[in-house]
Structure formats: structure tokens, C-alpha cells
Amino acid sequence: MATNPDTPPDPTDPPTDPEVAEDGLLADEESLDLAPGDRGRRQLWLYLLSLPFWLGLVFGPTVVLPALLSGGAAETVEAMTPTIIAVGGAVGVGGAALASFRLGSDIEERLRMVLICYSVPFWTVVMWYSYTQQMPRGQYAVAFLGGILGLYVLSELDEPLIERDWVETGLLVVSGLISLGTSGYLFLNYQQVAIDTVGRATEPQIAMAFAFTLAIIYLTWRSFGITFLAVVLVGIGYGLAGPQMPGALAHGGLSPSRILRILVVSVDGFYGFLTRLVAAWIALFLLYAGLLKAYGAFDLILRLAVRSAKYVDSGIAQTAVISSAVIGSVNGSQTANAGMTGSFTIPLMKKNGIKPETAGGIEAVASTAGQVLPPVMGAGAFIMAQLISGATYVDVIISGLIPAAVLVVSIAMAVHYVAAAQIDDPEMDGLIGDTMATQTVLLEAVKYGVPLVILIYVLGVLQYTVMTAALYTVISMIAFGIGIPQIQALLDGESNREAFVGTLEQTVDGFREGVLVVAPVTIILAAINGVVDILMATGVPTAISLTLLDLSGGIAIIAFMLAMIICIILGLGMPTTAAYTVVALLVAPTLINQFAVPEFAGHFFVFYAAILAGLTPPIATCVAVTCGISGGGFWGSCKEALRISAPLFVLPFAFAYHPELVSGTFDYASLSAGLLAMLGSLAIIHGINYQFAFGRGQTYGLRVAFFAAGVVAMVHPMQAVQVGALAGVLALYVLQTVIGRANPLGTLRGAVGTLSGRKR
């Protein structure tokens, strides 16, 4: 079930009992939750048989038979393919529903079975399109959106049905039927609505578009709450109320019928380029994330994080940072990631003595940091590659390496400062249960590492498309996810048959996990696409440019500060991809065109600024989730998060004044700028978080001095001034160290004598 970021998770969800650690942090769970006895075996056979059925139905008549046949036989198969798929699909869908009804014991189990059974054909079609591309991408995106909305409704129906909430049930069912009906109509009539009659619509089409718009609004509210619903409604309202808007924001206004044509009938709007991007690129990466979770990759990530973090006093907190950042990189939503990884990292930190507010702040920042880590960057990298002219996906992830390094190092240092003094047991004894054998660790590393290497090789060396690279990555993940356990079973003398069946279970469950991850992302991006298309039709980017110029008076630093505030406001409550898309289309053009910020720097500015909404009070949705889990106060958690993430608020300005940071090249200019930015960020962290042994006045003075010098070192356009600021930081550090000694003058004389070569 999707998580509404406006509603923090129940604090009782995570294992808060300190005595529950006998099974360790990473206790295994059965992936499919099968029924006991013979009924469970039949459920398993239903899942396993669905794999060859759908693979054969989709790939057989479209790929395999045309390759084996020739001449008239191939033409006959091609002509019969739509009928074969339609009839087979109806049999498969109906048979899965009937079997789920007979084999399930209650509503929740039956809906879960149907969702698993329908996830298999959904992902089969996604992989089929990535391999063949045998239809226009827009038409495929229509089918994709209809399918994922139907699956989302199935995933949400259990709770209202169990609670007999017939209003909620009716709204979900009606929304699902409208989504499937509208998408089906547009799919079958794609040539007519998208090309032949574009710009025109009949009254029945307008009525259909109105119903589908209401369905999207409802599903958006259900997925992301009132905050984002307000964004959608304000966007549509702005399109209608143009003549009544003040000043530069005024426009001629769009009629209701034109708005509905833009949103639905023209196969743009909700079905526009963002939906096509999700369908063709992002979906397979989110399936990859679902497979990683089903195959147990998060278990390995946490084990490696715990092992590597044992070497520092803040190890337990660093474990949370590493695991949350790695998992968050492929998650696509900082709030969702905070809820997922925070459910075990926060109780883990609290159990070892870290305060609830500190634990919540650390997890919130770690989940946010994951959104900017290459190679996925919370799925934002794919959208950025589409929006920057002439840029490839590889260009984007290479450009993101230096700022990501700056961010990770500064956050690790900040977490060490705030957490080390609070931790009771730095060794983390007994936190992960049984120790994993070295042989198993190596096999697990191969299982998860080879698909990642394939992704990097196919993208970076072979220069294939992102869609092809994602397909190869998913296929290799399935192959290694099934194959490596066979080797493990052989080495351990266990049953290969049981290992094979178990990995097939995990594969099917990975398909289900992929649907649960991709559905909310698709819904919000579809809604954002509709709002963006309306705003583009009104000319609002030009209005924002004029307003920024007017308010800033043409002064760059003021414009950059205003742009950051706008990005934070526009990013409230949104996942990474949606937040970045909005600000990239509305704010980035102003920075690029009016203030001569290079294109990559402008997009990275708004990208980093937009994700700050999850940490910025008074909304701070990511912090709201983590403090809901930790039980700490909201404002205290916000304070801790801001202390740890302070350089993140300065880094976008460094992009504007030092675009070489995100140039994608590794020369003296970029590396020196990166080093200066990193040292400046560490100065900021030290000034804010170090426990100075002075009075209040001296402490505040040193904090301000370190912070100001760090900001100058990160942002100032002249490198000589940056170096001078770092020299000031060094002087402050020496002063702080000397004055903190029992005999400061003697220490200083000794240091001077040593430097001059004189013996005492």
C-alpha cells in the first residue's frame, strides 16, 4: 500500500523493544506469505506458472515465431497476433482472478494474489516494449499508465473493503474503471486522437477527459495527501483564472474544454513526456529496485554498512547514512525512503543511545542525500538527461559525481559530530544476528554487483540507450538472482530444487514490489505533467523570469536566493522526480537565460534546491516521517536535520558561481573547485556541530566565524578569496585548539619553537 507522506508512519511499526534483537536486525521474512499446507502449494504453482504463460503469450507471436518462420507463415502469424494476444490475455486475466478467488481465504489474501498475478504480465509488457519498441512510445505510455493505475487501485482496495468503507471502496473502483476505460479508448484510437484530430475533441471525449481528470486528482490525493493535491488544483485553477491574476502572472485564460484537451484527449498532459519517460526508462529501474529488495540486497547492504562502520565511534549512525543513501538512490522519494529504511535504522540508533530527535534528523538527511547519488539520483538523472539539450544520461551522472562526493563527506562528518558522543556501544555487538560466511558474502556481492557493472558498461562503454541498459540490467539481475543461489546450494550440499523454487518466489515477489514502487511515482509524475503542460500553455515561465528579474533588480545573488526559496516551496511534498521536473521547467530557464548560468549548473541548482523541501520547516515532510518513527519532537528533529545538512543549502550557490563543479570533466578547475567546496562544507559542519569548550559568547562567535568562512570558501567566485577563507578556517582551528588547552600560552610557544627549529 502506498504511503501518504502527509501521514507519518505509526511509531509502533518498527521493532522498538530492545530485547527483540535475538533474531538480529536483518531477520529474514518469507517473500510471498503463502497460505499453509496444500493451499499454499497451489498458490505457489499459480504464481510460478504465470511466468511462462505470459512470457510465451507476449514474446511468442511477436518475437519468437516471426524469427523462426518466413514468407506466408510469418505474415499469417503477424496478422493473427492481435487476436492471439487479446484472447490469451483475457483468458490469463480471468483465470488469475478466478484462481485467486478460489485459493484465497479472505479479501486481503485474494487481492494480494491478484496483484501478484497481474504484476507478471504488466512487467512482461514493459520488458517486451523495451526489447522490441513495436509501437509508438506515446501509445505504449497510454497502456502503461492505464495498467499501473489499475494495479495501484488493486493494491489499495484491501483496507477499505476490510473496514467496510463503501465510499472509499466505490471511489477506488470507479477511479480504476475510469482509468482503464479512458486509457483503453486512447490506446485503441491513438492514431486518431494523437495525430488525425489533434486539437479537436467531441463532447463525449470531453466528458471522458473530465472523469479521468477527477480520477487522477483523487488518486493523487490518496497517494500524496493534501499538500500535493493543492499543487495540482492550483495549477488547473491558474489556467482557468488567467485574466484575474495580478501583474506579470496574468494571461488570457484557458477554457475548461481546452484544459481537458491538454490534460487527456491530445494524449499529452497526464499521458505526456514524463509518463512516457517513466514507462520507457524509469519503470525498469524501479523494477530493478523491487528485485533487489526481493532478492535480499538490502540485507547485504546493511551487513556491509555495519561492518565498514565499526571502525569509527559513530559507526551505528554511519550505518544508517550508508544504507539509507544507497537504498534512497534508487527509491525516487526521500519521504518513502525515510519510512522504509527508517523503520529499522531509527530504532537501531535509539537502542544504542542516540536521542530520538538526533536519530530522526540523521535518517531524514541520509534519505535526502540518497536522492543526489549517481548513477540513479532518485530517478532524477533520467529526466535531467531529457531536459538538458544535447546531454546524455552518462553526462548527467558524471556531472553529479563531484557534488555528491562533497555532500557525502560533509554529512558523514556531521553525523560523527552529533552521534559519537551519544552512542553507548560503538562496536554494535549482535545487531545483525548470525555472521554471514565469507563465501556467502562473495557470492552475494557477485549476485548484486555484476548487474550493476553491466549497467555501467552498457551505458558508459557501449553507449546504448538507457532503456536498453535498464532491460539488460533487469534481465541480468533475474539471471544472477536465480543462478547464484543454485551455486550456493550446490556448495552447501542443499537441495537445488528448493533453491530454484525459492528464487522464483522472490522473482515474482520482486515484480509485485516493483509495482508498489512505480505506482506512486507514475501517478505523481502524470499529475505533474498535466500541471506543467497547463502552465506552459499560459506562459508562466516567462512570468516567473520577469518577476525574478524585477524582485532581484538584476543582482545575481538575490535572484539565486529567491530562486532557491521558490524551488523549496514548489518542492513541498513531492518525490524527487516531480519536484525536479517542476522547478526545471519553471525556474531553471530564468537562471540560464537571464543570469547566464550554464545549463548543467542551472539544472543542478534547482535539483539540489528542490529536494531541500523535505528538510525545511515548517513542512519538512521527510522529517515528519522520521520523527513519527522515532517519537521525537518535530522541531527538535528539524533542528538536528538542519545542523547535519547545512552545506546542502549552500552547495547550489556553488554550482552557480563555480559551474565547473558539474561540468562533467575532471581537470584542475573542476577538481580544485570540488576540493575547496568540500573543505568549505567541512568548515561549516565543524562550526555548527563541534562542542567548543568555551563560554557562550566565544562559542557563538567561533560558530559564526567558521560558518561564514566556510560559505565564502564554497561560493565566492574568486579562487584566491576561497583559499584565503580556508586559511582563516585553519587559523580559527589552531586558535580553538590552543585556547582549549590548560596552558594555552605554553602550548603556543612550544608550537612556535618547534616550527622555528629551536630546542626548548
What burial class does residue 388 get, using C-beta atoms within 10 Å of its C-beta: 0-12 exposed, 13-18 middle, 19+ buried?
buried
Alpha helices of 658-717 — where are they, by DSSP H? 668-689, 696-715
User: In the prediction, which pLDDT does 223 show?
Assistant: 82
User: In the prediction, which pLDDT does 22 show?
Assistant: 35
Mark whether 146 and 243 lie in a shared domain: yes
Position 267 in a domain: yes
With beta carbons less than 8 A apart as the criterion, state whether 169 and 160 touch. yes
Whole domain around residue 83: which residue ranges?
Answer: 34-134
Exposure string of 17-39, with b = 16+ CB inside 10 Å and e = fewer, is eeeebeeebbeeeebbebbeeee
Mark whether 247 and 159 lie in a shared domain: yes
For residues 149 and 726, what is the distance between their CA atoms, to the nearest angstrom?
53
pLDDT at 24 exceeding the cut of 50: no
User: In the prediction, which pLDDT does 430 show?
Assistant: 53
Mark whether 155 and 61 lie in a shared domain: no
Q: What is the mean pLDDT of residues 621-628?
A: 77
Output phi, psi for 124, to 5 deg: -65, -45
Position 156 in a domain: yes
Sorting pLDDT into bands at 50, 70 and 90, what band is 754?
Answer: very low
The lowest-confidence range among 20-24, 208-212, 743-747 is 20-24
Residues found in the chain: 760
The closest alpha carbon to 306, from 405, 425, 408, belongs to: 425
Exposure string of 530-567, with b = 16+ CB inside 10 Å and e = fewer, is bbbbbbeebebbebbbebbbeebeeebeebbebbbebb
For residues 562 and 20, what is the distance between their CA atoms, to the nearest angstrom?
49
User: In the prediction, which pLDDT does 143 show?
Assistant: 95
With beta carbons less than 8 A apart as the criterion, state whether 154 and 137 touch. no
Q: Which residue has the cell 557525502?
A: 408
> What is the reported pTM?
0.74
The lowest-confidence range among 73-87, 103-117, 537-551, 691-705 is 537-551
Position 306 in a domain: no
Query: Residues with Cβ < 8 Å from 272, sequence gap 6 or more?
Result: 529, 530, 532, 533
Mark whether 145 and 126 lie in a shared domain: no
Mark whether 122 and 146 lie in a shared domain: no
Sorting pLDDT into bands at 50, 70 and 90, what band is 746?
Answer: low
DSSP 615-648: TSTTT-HHHHHHHHHH---HHHHHHHHHHHHHHH
Position 470 in a domain: no
Mark whether 178 and 101 lie in a shared domain: no
Mark whether 127 and 144 lie in a shared domain: no
Position 623 in a domain: no
Alpha helices of 310-392 — where are they, by DSSP H? 315-329, 334-351, 356-370, 380-387
With beta carbons less than 8 A apart as the criterion, state whether 605 and 568 touch. no
Alpha helices of 420-437 — where are they, by DSSP H? none
Distances 262 to 178, 242, 265, 531, 536 between C-alpha atoms, Å = 18, 16, 7, 10, 11
The domain boundary residue, chosen from 88, 119, 134: 134
Exposure string of 443-478, with b = 16+ CB inside 10 Å and e = fewer, is bbeebbebbeebbeebbbeeeebbbbbbbbbbbbbb
Residue 651 cell numbers, joined: 552547495
Per cent of the chain over pLDDT 70 is 85
Output phi, psi for 404, to 5 deg: -65, -40
The 10s digit of each residue's pLDDT in 687-722 is 888 887 777 787 888 889 999 999 999 999 999 999
Q: Quick one: residue 268, left, alpha or beta (phi over 0 = left, psi -120 to 50 = alpha)?
A: beta
Sorting pLDDT into bands at 50, 70 and 90, what band is 370?
Answer: confident
For residues 707 and 687, what is the distance between their CA atoms, to the nearest angstrom?
6
Mark whether 176 and 121 lie in a shared domain: no
The closest alpha carbon to 104, from 158, 152, 151, 153, belongs to: 158
Mark whether 113 and 151 lie in a shared domain: no
Domains in the chain, number: 3
pLDDT at 13 exceeding the cut of 60: no
Mark whether 144 and 76 lie in a shared domain: no
The 10s digit of each residue's pLDDT in 236-290 is 898 888 888 877 777 888 899 999 999 999 888 899 887 888 888 778 878 887 8
The 10s digit of each residue's pLDDT in 337-350 is 776 677 767 877 88
More confident residue, 480 or 452: 480
Query: Residues with Cβ < 8 Å from 507, sequence gap 6 or more?
Result: 51, 291, 294, 478, 481, 482
The lowest-confidence range among 80-89, 160-169, 552-561 is 552-561
User: In the prediction, which pLDDT does 457 show?
Assistant: 81
